[in-house]
Structure 1
Amino acid sequence: MPPLAVLLAGLTGSGKTTLAKALAARGFTRLSVDEEVHRLHGRYGVDYPEDTYFARERPVLAAVRGQFTTNLRAGHDVVLDHGLWQRADREAWKEAARTAGGLPVLVHLPAHREELLRRLTERNLRADANALAVTPEALDDFFARFEPPTADENPIAYPGDAQALAVLLERARGTGQPGS
């Protein structure tokens, strides 16, 4: 059976990192774009201007993509801890997974603005790689740029429980179908 390439689609604060860490505890290789950008450049909106993020992220994405395909070719299940806000990005990562012999599975982590604001208010007090300094205005911009997965992308809606998701992922692996 092919290794799984779990692709997480969700806005900042939707729970991607928490889920990715839970899957890593189950043996998945976790790759985090945000943590690598933080390691190299510091905190978004604090140590560098927000408008320079994408220039800083670009080489990190290339390096993470290399790790992603290397792990899949080696037969390791991988979870990509990255928002994948745009459909074109999701399609590119799915193709990279297939080319490396993996089975891409898209998991959508939907969240309401009010809940994200609550979570981000708490996270803004921290200083780690996953605690972006996000204002309500920035969150509104994020919502405007986010393209939620559509039914034809075969996403699995995150059921809110890593164990329940693990069952869905194993079902996808067994059937060779990327979604349920």
Structure 2
Amino acid sequence: MGRPTIVTKPLAVGLIGITGSGKTTLATALAARGMVRLSVDEEVHRRHGRYGIDYPEHEYGERERPVVEEVLAELVDHLRAGRDVVLDHGLWLRREREELRRTVEHAAGRLLLVYLPVAKPELLARLERRNRRDDANALTVTPSALDDFFDRFEPPEPDELVLVYAGDPDAVLDQLARDTSPEGGAPR
């Protein structure tokens, strides 16, 4: 008798973090390792320009909503085609993370949530540098806007089973390997 074949479901990695926490950097690193990267911010930028410059900050949610729906549909298509995906989007609210979990499960995929916690002083320093750029991932964020972001952000609770990111993309891949091994594994 041969070894049993282990069939794994396609994977979706969802990134949880405030603007400037490193989601795009991690998503890009995972894409370089073979995952499909889907970015909500880049699509909003492509359609509408820069946040706070080409349209008022208070309109972002209205502009983002249809993009999120379309990106989630694309995520489902990739999972159903057997491709692993990383969603470059903040998932600030628990209900967004729960919706992503349902969407991924409905597409017969599996989800790994990765939390990128960064202290406010570090985010301010990062955003100050980013505010000088004009690309899709360089939202112009003021200190008062960052305060508002923190007020609205819901950090993951222990029952959400997230991997806390410590700066090493390979650690995320290692976790994925453990999750697909016969012994399994649980995020920390």
TM-score range with shorter-chain normalisation?
over 0.9
1:44 match: secondary structure: coil
Asked if 1:145 is matched to 2:174, the reply is: no
Name the residue aligned to 2:33: 26
Name the residue aligned to 1:118: 125
Contact 2:79 2:107 survives alignment (8 Å):
yes
**Aligned counterpart for 2:173 among listed residues 153, 166, 172:** 166
User: Aligned residues, how many?
Assistant: 180
Contact 1:159 1:165 survives alignment (8 Å):
no
Contact 1:87 1:149 survives alignment (8 Å):
yes
Name the residue aligned to 1:71: 78
Query: What are the superposed Cα offsets for residues 48-80 of structure 1, whole Å, 9 maximum, x if unpaired?
Result: 000000110111011101100000011110000
**What is the CA distance between 1:172 and its match in structure 2?**
1.9
1:152 match: secondary structure: helix
Contact 2:16 2:115 survives alignment (8 Å):
yes
Q: Gapped runs of 5+ residues in structure 2?
A: 1-7
**What is the CA distance between 1:179 and its match in structure 2?**
2.6
**What is the CA distance between 1:133 and its match in structure 2?**
0.3
1:17 match: secondary structure: helix
Quote the Cα distance in structure 2 between the aligned partners of 1:37 and 1:94: 23
1:25-64 correspondence runs (5 A)? 25-64=32-71
Equivalent residue letter for 1:51: H
**What is the CA distance between 1:159 and its match in structure 2?**
2.1
Quote the Cα distance in structure 1 between the aligned partners of 2:17 and 2:157: 13
**What is the CA distance between 1:166 and its match in structure 2?**
1.1
**What is the CA distance between 1:170 and its match in structure 2?**
1.7
Name the residue aligned to 2:113: 106
2:51 match: secondary structure: coil
Identity %: 58
Q: Gapped runs of 5+ residues in structure 1?
A: none
TM-score (norm 1): 0.97
Contact 2:175 2:185 survives alignment (8 Å):
no
Name the residue aligned to 1:87: 94
**What is the CA distance between 1:173 and its match in structure 2?**
2.9
Q: Structure 1 residues 86 and 177, CA, compared in 2 at 3 Å: closer, same or farther?
A: farther
Contact 2:16 2:113 survives alignment (8 Å):
yes
Q: Structure 1 residues 82 and 178, CA, compared in 2 at 3 Å: closer, same or farther?
A: farther
Q: Structure 1 residues 128 and 20, CA, compared in 2 at 3 Å: closer, same or farther?
A: same
